[in-house]
Amino acid sequence: MIGFYNYTVIATYLSLAISLSGMLFAAAGKTHWAVICLMLSGLLDAFDGKIARTKKDRSVREQRFGVQIDSLCDLVCFGVLPVIIGYFAAPHGLNSVLFYIYAVCGVLHVLGGVIRLSFFNIGEEEKRDQGIKVERSTYTGMPITTVALIYPIIYLFRRPLADHPDLFTAIWSFAMLAIAFLFVGKFHIRKPTNKGIIILIVFGAVIACGIGFIYGICSK
């Protein structure tokens, strides 16, 4: 078989599988479970690079494969999945103007993710071709995985806005549009330290518990 299947890419493959499951949950009307899948994918993404770097004898081809497969999976997990969740959380038919507004914002969201990840991959390839090994301390633009926390926070308001689905859709649409531009923005964000990652994980766990409490995940 082509490809690589050692432990360095297992977290990435698992993240993709979870996100695809999230899409099915959303289509089945269980958008709260889809949001949890989004967050789990984000958790795995926080460690897939660290796991890969523990294998010191990775070939150049393995390393380049890891970069490509990570970006491809990120596009599905953090580019496409949020669009699917937002739609099924408050679906609108073809006769609704909001449907078309949402569609445009969703396309821009995914496009922004594609451009960001492609640009990142080019930079990584150039550095590897030049034999440059640089530890990144900042990100240019907003990392795509940050949506694993942003959208769950927005989703917390779905129940309070249950009687106003149009408003919820408008908020999610605006978020997708804003995030699309943040993906490709030319500004710098400091890369979180290990302590920062732990804080983000704890914060994510609190949000997940909030979703579980509000939507009664354990009882459904």
Q: Is residue 157 part of a domain?
A: yes
* pTM of the full structure: 0.93
3-state helix, strand, coil in the chain (%, to 5): 75, 5, 25
Rounded distance between C-alpha atoms, residue 8 and residue 63, angstroms: 10
What does each of the 220 residues of the chain score in pLDDT, given as a tens digit?
888 888 889 999 999 999 999 999 999 999 999 999 999 999 999 988 888 888 888 888 888 888 899 999 999 999 999 999 999 999 898 889 999 999 999 999 999 999 999 998 898 787 776 766 656 778 889 999 999 999 999 999 999 999 999 999 999 999 999 999 999 999 999 988 889 999 999 999 999 999 999 887 655 4
- Domain membership of residue 156 (yes or no) is yes
Domain-located, residue 4: no
Asked, for residue 3, whether it belongs to a domain, the answer is no
Using DSSP's 3-state secondary structure scheme, residue 9 falls into coil
Using DSSP bridges, classify how beta strands 138-140 and 188-190 pair: parallel, antiparallel or unpaired.
antiparallel
Burial of residue 11, with CB atoms counted within 10 A of its CB: 0-12 exposed, 13-18 middle, 19 or more buried: buried
Structural contact between residues 200 and 192, judged by C-beta atoms closer than 8 angstroms: yes
Which run of H or E residues covers position 90? none
**Overall domain count for the chain:** 1
Domain containing residue 89: 10-219
Domain-located, residue 110: yes
Collect contacts of 119-125 with beta carbons under 8 A, ≥24 apart. 119/184, 120/71, 121/67, 121/68, 121/71, 124/67, 125/64, 125/67
Q: Cα(81)–Cα(86) distance, rounded to whole angstroms?
A: 9
Query: According to the model, what pLDDT value does residue 220 have?
Result: 45
Ordered DSSP codes for 148-171: HHHHHHHHTTTTTTTT-HHHHHHH
* Assigned domain for 2 exists: no
- 5 found inside a domain: no
Among 28, 131, 138, residue whose Cα is nearest residue 85: 28
Give the span between the Cα atoms of 157 and 25, in whole angstroms. 19
For residue 177, tell me if it sits in a domain: yes
The sign of the CA dihedral 80, 86, 89, 92 is negative
